[in-house]
Structure 1
């Protein structure tokens, strides 16, 4: 396991038990973001980096009883918290790295990813892996329940020019990974970038070139 993965696991393991209590009011923001994916009855959706599974209930509601919901996370303690919250009733919980998914290519209609991109060790490569498991024309939602500026203020830091979530960085990063950004919202109350999986193969771009 890489040092990056170990760091992520240690970070979230230490916070898993109290994670939902720290952010008790995020539910409506998750539901609103899921609604913008345009999921239909019977669709198959992956919650990548699902954490404690806060998106599982709205995802299940969107795809109905005939749909498939899979939540994948790298940290066992977060999945345990999801089970304690009863979210395993909404879909399958899977211990897996979002950068190396044990899932069939093209088997999902959409991927929902809350807070994931900041924790990807190799963003371009990892986004290509998310693309792999989605059918052509399928959707990707990169979400956070607060925007970049509000998150930075909460964490006592400033936004830097190389922030991957900035539109000028995210658009070419997605394009080089086989996604086309279709919608971008960065407000205090939410961050939501929607992208569609293009049918052409991803380029060999390693990611955006960021100037200081």
Structure 2
């Protein structure tokens, strides 16, 4: 992989509904870790599906409190690069308060228009991101832009869709962007090939390879 700085680019965060997103997630930041307090092993297992090696570069897109950064750092080692981006400053402050900044660089940025050059990451991890994007197809294309050919994307949640809907007292949305075959079509149109889909009660994990 190229060794130049991924920040060498002319891209800047998008605008859109950034304030609405911040208004929704900002007040939840301090309590965010209590939603799924025992999910560190699930995060580590999902990171393991990315096929990262020592020295690789990994992005946690929409990182929130940056739970994925420690397992990403463990896999890529001290020679690797780990970057977490999130649109909500309160989430990044909470990540720092929890010490996650010790595992990687935290950047306030919009995942819909990332401040990185093309093909600069070996893998992207995105927990609970794709269903919050106003335009999932465009968001997946942006994640593809910053991922090298053959790199991987993991779309993750520590509960499967059915279990999560039950916990919230909701019915499962048949139009959910994370459901097959819709997700497969979206990924294919955005430059990804779906390689794995695990939507069990224990987790939601979709792994795709950059075409």
Q: Is 1:56 aligned to residue 69 of structure 2? A: yes
**Could you tell me whether the CA contact under 8 Å between 2:88 and 2:108 is conserved in 1?**
yes
Give 3-state SS (helix, strand or coil) of 1:12's partner: helix
Corresponding residue for 2:195? 182
Deviations 1:31-90 (A, max 9, x none): 000011111000000000000000000000010000000000000000000000000010
Shift of 1:2: 2.5
Q: Secondary structure of the residue that 2:107 maps to in structure 1?
A: strand
RMSD: 0.8
Mapped to 2, the partners of 1:2 and 1:97 lie a distance apart of 10
Mapped to 2, the partners of 1:9 and 1:155 lie a distance apart of 22
Show CA shifts across 1:141-165 (max 9, x none).
0000000001111121111221101
Report the secondary structure of 2:181's partner residue.
Answer: helix
Matching of residues 146-185 of structure 1 within 5 Å: 146-185=159-198
Aligned to 1:83: 96
Distance 1:63 1:115 in 2: 22
Aligned residues: 197
Aligned residues of 2:26 and 2:91 also touching (Cα < 8 A): yes
Extract unaligned runs of 5+ from structure 2.
1-14
TM-score using structure 2 length = 0.91
In the alignment, the residues of structure 2 paired with residue 131 and residue 94 of structure 1 have an alpha-carbon distance, to the nearest angstrom, of: 19
Separation (CA, whole Å) in 2 of partners of 1:35 and 1:55: 11
The partner residue of 1:35 within 44, 48, 53 is 48
Say which SS state the counterpart of residue 54 (structure 1) adopts.
coil
Offset at residue 10 of structure 1 (A) = 1.2
Could you tell me the TM-score, scaled by structure 1's length? Answer: 0.91
- 1:2 aligned partner: 16
Alignment gaps of 5+ in structure 1: 199-212
Q: Which structure is higher in RCO with an 8 Å CA cutoff and minimum separation 6?
A: 2
Please, which of 126, 134, 153 is the counterpart of residue 140 of structure 1? Answer: 153
